[in-house]
Amino acid sequence: MTGFLPSVEGFAKGTLATVATLSTVGVGLLYYGQNYLIYPSAFPPGSRTEVPVPTDFGIPYQPLDLRTEDDVQLRCYLLPQRQDLSVTNPEAAVLPTEYENDDEFIASRPTVIMFHGNGGNHGHRIPIAKVFFMKMRCNVLMLSYRGYGLSDGSPSERGLQIDSQTALDYILADPNFSRSPLARFLTDAFDILYGQSIGGAVAIDLASRNPTKINALIIENTFTSLPSVIPHALPLLARVSFLCHQKWDSASKIPLIPATTPILMLSGAKDEIVPKEHMRTLWEAVAKRGEKKTPGGKEYKTGLERAKFMEFEDGAHNDTCAQTGYWTAVADFVASLARDEEIEKETSSSPQ
């Protein structure tokens, strides 16, 4: 897995911390033009026209055009698994191939929906998708938000909420992806939401609105809310942070996610954009999910049963994914979902 880290690190160090540009604008622009600043899809230059494709990195894929409920075309990437992948590509992990066809194999693997940060486009995150696809042998849907890359429309909080729901609905409706054996309680849903920075806020929001359809979340360097991060990232605008109408209030949405939903939280201790305290506060909310009281009044917590928090000492906002131990933690988390499902199956099939 470490062989993938140089390409991941190269991407991470090249990503612009575009939120900092807010400090150069006036209060009026903060309110009326904040969508252009919060969602800088044109940066780095060329991001709206030059979008890398998975085959540039040796990954087979399918172009996926999704049409949203408000008639916006999203041009995404779908990376479905293949049984012969380890034969045709030596980088791929070797798995048993006892399935009759690729459709059955796809249905046997986890599906990751990726939500990227606010700068660049989804093509810049292909090295990250490659780890999920090659090393963990997951199916991957790389969402391209509206107004990003080659997708139509203009980004906004409401717009990205619609985009993420569209991606989830596609996975749940597909006969292969929806048959995953890891589906809990015999439902037709299995998906892992992976979000970085504002993408983590998108993932948390989607999970809060679909509490019975999301199986797990992986969240990296996400804020409690956008207004609350302004005083740190943009001290000059601290007094007018109330003008930020793009809320992404993750702190209030985590309690809506069931305590049984596994969550992995990955935080960079040297994050220069989102203070590490934001991730710690979100972790506290995760830990309190499902908090109950015994008849005697003593509280006990269930939210920690399937959740984990990791802080990387040298991780900055854009290179935490390149830190030692990051991908091992992610791989262990994904593997644990399969183990838990096997235990549930055995328990449910045991004679009472």
CATH of the domain at 26: 3.40.50.1820
28-66: pLDDT as tens digits: 556 667 888 889 999 999 999 999 999 999 999 999 999
What domain range includes position 46?
2-290+300-345
258-276: pLDDT as tens digits: 999 999 999 999 999 999 9
Residues 6+ apart with CB under 8 A from 344: 184
277-327: pLDDT as tens digits: 999 999 999 999 877 655 555 555 555 678 999 999 999 999 999 999 999
Domain count for the chain: 1
352 falls within a domain: no
295 falls within a domain: no
What pLDDT is stored for residue 297 in this prediction?
A: 58
37 falls within a domain: yes
Residue 184 has pLDDT above 90, yes or no: no
Give the mean model confidence (pLDDT) for residues 121-129. Answer: 98
- Name the nearest CA neighbour of 194 among 139, 146, 240: 139
What pLDDT is stored for residue 15 in this prediction?
A: 47
316 falls within a domain: yes
204-257: pLDDT as tens digits: 999 999 999 999 999 999 999 999 988 877 666 667 677 788 999 999 999 999
What pLDDT is stored for residue 160 in this prediction?
A: 98
Name residue, tokens 């004679």: 351
What pLDDT is stored for residue 340 in this prediction?
A: 62
104 falls within a domain: yes
Residues 6+ apart with CB under 8 A from 247: 157, 225, 226, 227
351 falls within a domain: no
Residue 347 has pLDDT above 60, yes or no: no
Residue 89 has pLDDT above 70, yes or no: yes
